Structure 1
Amino acid sequence: MELKIGTMLILEPTYTERVEKFRCKVLEQKDGVIYIDYPVNTITKKTAFLIDGAQFRVTFNNEVKQSFAFNTEVLGRKAGNIPMIMLAYPQDEDVIKIQRREYVRVDTPVDIAVEYDGVFTQFIAADISAGGVLLNLREAVNFNDGDTVRLTIVLPYTSGEIRYVQTDALVVRIFERDERTFASMQFTDTDDLDKQYVVRFCFERQLQIRKKELNEIL
């Protein structure tokens, strides 16, 4: 996918404890490299000086307002009349189209511990998004629709890094489907950093699923 000159990019660091967003503009694209102007922090409005090797999740909109995302890292700088930063641009199959709804659910197993009324139970989620999870209930539970539970979510990334996200969640509905029982849960107090961890995990899994589908076609 060719990025047009002037396309606005939003950069979010993927390996940091801080939740930040930077805005920048595409000035040039050549041989798998994007050249951008120096990004500006969307909150402080200050110019950011990105270090080589720093990794980011990039989101942008095309001319018809479709949203896309990809992972990148800082490759270096290019001097000139306008100083530029060089970012790696992936192959087309690694650029993911973002669905328009607020949170994209990804069908992938995730280990989750549920605490309710002092009882801890281990489950596996059938899918996950930054807004909630669908738990596969393989045993009887002591919570019901409308209850609030405490979740500990294990997020293993492709790099080998593991993050543990803790959040309260509302039990929206317990139901049966295909002779199995599920609980739909909505996160209720996830902080911004933990939400970014979940978004990053979902994005990585989307990439894995897409690559697998492409390999099966080929």
Structure 2
Amino acid sequence: MTIIVIVAAVILLAALAAGLLRGGRGRGRGRGLRRRFGPEYDLALARHEGDAKAAEKELTERLRRHGDVKIQPLTGESRERYVASWNGVQEEFVDAPARAVADAESLLAQLVRDRGYPADPYDEQVAALSVHHAYSVRGYRQVHAAAGRAREGRAATEELREAVVGARGLFDELIDERPRGRSHASDRHRTGVPWAGARGRHEATKGGTP
């Protein structure tokens, strides 16, 4: 009986140790995913109603599908063309906000494809971008949603402006090949005319001052 009790205790302790080890690995994997995906982790968690295991499974699957995307370089000429086009979108916003948002979405979608991300569908583009640009992919969702509402005549001018501003964060990263999560606030001059200038001219047309 003593031997049986000892053997049972050893088996129980081994099972407990294995469970603790698996739990530790799971927590470590969760922390790694949270660090990598940042706000995307929180979005996945909300989408799965707080189920961390389901959220982490989704994010792990995104990594499996898109972690090895081969990012294509842009030529200097191509980069300059994109920058000029984006500046044109900002100027266009002064007189035609809805059209400017549609053009911003189209331009960003083309840039996403040129950098080597999935050509379509939109959901796959977002999933791939979330792996490599987790802190700025929200801008792509924002401009996509705003453009859709603008086509239906349901978007206010301020919403459209915020969508273009949000999309610019991802645009800057894709153009400058900067690492994910880097701040863009101090680097707006890199894409030419600052947004504040375009907004200032918009206010001036309404009798305000830049």
When normalised by structure 1's length, the TM-score is: 0.24
Higher strand share: 1
Q: Which structure is larger by alpha-carbon Rg, 1 or 2?
A: 2
TM-score normalized with structure 2 length: 0.25
Write 1 or 2 for the structure with the bigger share of helix.
Answer: 2
Which protein has greater RCO, CA pairs closer than 8 Å, 6+ apart? 2
